[in-house]
Chain A
């Protein structure tokens, strides 16, 4: 057999039907569901008298518009949000799917809950009505976002109609320098390739710097594959992956574990396999970065200055002008001079325990200078662990609000929103106009950099605080 990429192997093992024109029915191993993109799909099933084909492979959790303040398990003030959460409660019950309601400590952001509970395993196909499903690629699972019609299709058939994407390799060579994180890798890749650079591709991230990342870091990298336009991001599983998975509630045990492990160890790109596109970045060249504009590709090292529209070409000139106007920034301004009103630490990109540890390390014994700062753990279990490790107290002592789990201010569907003109340093994944609230201004960065901005009140090179040379 010709050498195959990791993507080729997972794809080949999931084709249930292939038509003459190459259109495939791809079998889906795990279907994750949340309250915002599923009600119309369940309604469609009801109207056509269809059932969920594999309820045991379907996992639901409310996350997008749940409040992150106490009492939410008793009552949600916003009527529309409440109706959506109640609809998911009912759909989960009626269709007998796995469910973590708001009252369950395991509730959290769907992309944090899946891996945490061992639903996500190497070599699987994972879909969800959410673009950040790419997160699960960190396990060597083929994972991507789908629309609501496709949610209904997967519920009814456990398959997806797909044509194969092209293969793209993103290699990060060498090691990261101190103060540089997985978030800086993934933002730097998008900065280099653009938000459409991955369109039509599945990306495999590889190289020493990727291997050296923890599973949490790998999830951060894959999470933003979609921001680069790719259908999915993948990282080949290794000992770190197996160690993370072992013993989780829904991970295989005993003989099944041994069988799974033997298969998982075959999940790597063969020597000589073909990639349609290759991007290589030296790990040593990556700096702590921030975004300055309203597209995730608007990335610069924190030591840089706000660019001018004339620095760009084509349609990007006008887009940059619009971005700078929206962001209230002036070309030439130092990025580290930009004053911040609000800091948000959380989201499926950076809401895991390692992210909270990294931010707390910077914040220890310090006080915030911003108007408000909040930490929203990615799941109830992350929250509990952070409390046990004393991280919660560090955040609270520094002046942060310590919230309950959910998507929160990443997309501001719940009450956690920016006011017009309010400027936020956020560990989330999108800086689009209005993303965190109409007129709100978002700068994307790592948890460490967010903590640094909280302390100084402006975008800050975290390396200055760590005593590390830039």
Chain B
């Protein structure tokens, strides 16, 4: 997993609430057995017509946002299915950070496993960041994970919370499985205990 430390980039405004995982990456693209290559189909049905032409009004098709690295979104971003193809598609497109008032639980977890930072901010801060993002490509926002701040293009700074363990993993690009296997003795001990306490399990 790539590290996430500090990012200064274009933020795309997507004020729609309840942007679901079927919108982020429709099911026909889940048939892959790879993690890569999904960026071209990110938001496919909002981004392209039935015959594959770009829909010019869609935010990521607009010249100012084609290289966006941050999305500022409406409430409950990533609701729906557990498909990790959603963060894979965001990452493959170049998105490393999503900011919203709330995220669906599984999507939120999946982001951290892929070097994407989801940030929860109060409504009034999301409103400020959304307006800033609407200024276009010259308006770059800065996300500093170490300092836990987001800075608007005109220098307003907003702090955010992040789970310390997840922050540590993102800053260092750590692999969860490797970390867990360091605790193998605890798992062995649990299994031994469970074998007598719950022999049917």
Contact = CB atoms under 8 A, between A and B. Distances in A.
B177 interface: yes
B102 interface: yes
A147 B84 contact: yes
B53 interface: no
Contacts of A200: 105
Nearest to A160: B180
Contacts, number: 192
A25 B183 contact: yes
Interface string A250-292: 0010001101100100000000000000000000000000000
A121 B180 contact: no
Interface string B6-43: 00000000011110101100111011111100000000
A17 B33 contact: no
Interface string B176-194: 1100110110110111001
Interface string A131-161: 1010000000000111111101100111101
Interface in B105-143: 105-106, 109-110, 113-114
Interface residues of B, number: 57
Nearest to A407: B27
Task: Give the most central of B30, B80, B81, B184: most A CB within 10 Å.
Answer: B81
Contacts of B16: 315, 318-319, 322
B147 interface: no
A413 B22 CA distance: 12
Contact of A17 (B18, B87, B183): B183
B194 A27 contact: yes
B71 to A, nearest CB: 15
B30 A36 contact: yes
Given A149-B114, A157-B181, A256-B200, A43 B106 contact: no
A25 B176 CA distance: 11
- Which of A153, A263, A314 gathers the greatest number of chain B CB atoms within 10 Å? A153
Contacts of A81: 31
A25 B187 contact: yes
B153 to A, nearest CB: 23
Interface in A369-419: 411-413
Contacts of B189: 16
B105 A229 contact: yes
Contacts of B187: 16-17, 25, 27, 53, 157-159
A129 interface: yes
Interface centre among B27, B114, B197, B200 (most CB of A within 10 A): B200
Interface stretch (A215-223, A337-345, A432-440, A443-451): A432-440
Contacts of A213: none
A156 B179 CA distance: 12
A77 interface: no
A23 B23 contact: no
B87 to A, nearest CB: 8
B176 A430 contact: no
Interface in A84-133: 84, 87, 121, 123-124, 129-131, 133
A161 B176 contact: yes
A146 B84 CA distance: 9
Nearest to A298: B18
Contact of A315 (B17, B105, B163): B17
A260 B18 CA distance: 42
A411 B22 CA distance: 9
B113 A156 contact: no
Given A50-B177, A159-B187, A295-B18, A147 B82 contact: yes
Contact of B28 (A25, A163, A413): A413
Nearest to B81: A131
A69 to B, nearest CB: 18
Interface in A147-190: 147-150, 152-153, 156-159, 161, 163
A243 interface: no
Contact of B34 (A40, A130, A229, A318): A40
Contact of A149 (B27, B113, B190): B113
B23 to A, nearest CB: 6
21 contacts: A17-B190, A21-B163, A21-B165, A27-B194, A36-B83, A37-B30, A40-B34, A43-B33, A78-B31, A83-B33, A130-B82, A131-B81, A133-B82, A144-B106, A146-B82, A196-B79, A229-B76, A230-B105, A315-B17, A430-B20, A438-B26
Can you list the 3 inter-chain pairs with the closest CB atoms, starting with the nearest?
Answer: A252-B200, A80-B31, A149-B113
Given A27-B190, A64-B30, A411-B27, 14 more contacts: A25-B180, A27-B194, A37-B82, A78-B31, A130-B81, A149-B176, A150-B113, A157-B177, A199-B76, A199-B103, A200-B105, A315-B16, A315-B74, A434-B22
